[in-house]
Amino acid sequence: MRAFLHDVNRIVVKIGTSSLIHPNGKINFSGIDQLAFVLTDLNNLGKEIILVSSGAIGVGMNKLQLSARPASIPEQQAVAAVGQSELMHFYNQRFLAYNQQTAQVLMTRDIVEFPASRKNVINTLNQLIKMDIIPIINENDTVAVDELDHSTKFGDNDELSAIVCQLIDADLLIMLSDIDGFYSDNPNKNKQAILYSTISEITDELIDQASDAGSKFGTGGMISKLKAAERIFEAKGSMVLANGKPPRIIFDILEGKEVGTLFRRAQ
């Protein structure tokens, strides 16, 4: 069923805040380093890699020594501004240790909704890939409020990662979270919850089973991951939701091992 994953070439990897920040709010440097190693190795093998990274607010909270996520939008934007530069510093440092060049791409929703902007971002991403540079994409939290605690919540970059897949015709979206895959219920509360190996359709039952965000540092829950999967289905692509601790699981996914939940239309 998963043998096709050996042959995917253009891959979007989305890493969630919970994979970058320890539960105590400290930076997960081991995870960041391992992610840089894995993605660089895949790039060296000829894979085309794009990273969509959450974590700006989580890193900003650590930098500013905040124990609780700010309540107001301006405060969240300020923390994100501090955290984004710090996060890119960490990425630049670790990727350069493996001689891999990266580039920061901050996106807002209007970029993909307006044709001219859409074309420009597609051209930029394709050119970076052509130059063997790994783009690191995040929502521009300092000017966009959709992803923050706002009535039109975007979803912790989950949906953004699926949109990026659509923009650049990616073969696969690997979504790394703090959960092993999609369960029939919240496995932290229900030990009898069943892990789905494969999902080929987003049904009302699955939506009912989706749980809320489990981390105070992130904003995305299972609902946002299902929305991302719907976009992937529309683009006739594939998505794997897996536990990003540790990021080396990406190797297992691409070897076709039965880890995480595979979202793919029945062939």
Q: Which residues are annotated as a binding site for substrate?
A: 54, 141, 157
d(CA 189, CA 256): 30
Q: Which two tokens stand for residue 21?
A: 């920040």
Closest residue by Cα to residue 67 from 249, 250, 216: 216
The residues near 248 (Cβ < 8 Å, ≥ 6 apart) are 34, 38
Q: Name which of 125, 152, 126, 145 is nearest 136 in CA terms.
A: 125
Instruction: For residue 72, give the amino acid letter.
Output: S
Residue 17 burial (CB count, 10 A): 27
d(CA 181, CA 242): 5
- State the binding site for ATP: 14, 177-178, 219-225
Type of residue numbered 143: V
Q: Which residues are annotated as a binding site?
A: 14, 54, 141, 157, 177-178, 219-225
Count Cβ atoms within 10 A of the Cβ of residue 198 and give its class: 0-12 exposed, 13-18 middle, 19 or more buried.
middle
Residues 208, 53, 265, 181, Cα dihedral to 10°: -50
Distance CA 37, CA 43 (A): 10
How remote is the C-alpha of 257 from its chain's centroid? Answer: 20
Map residue 82 onto helix, strand or coil: helix
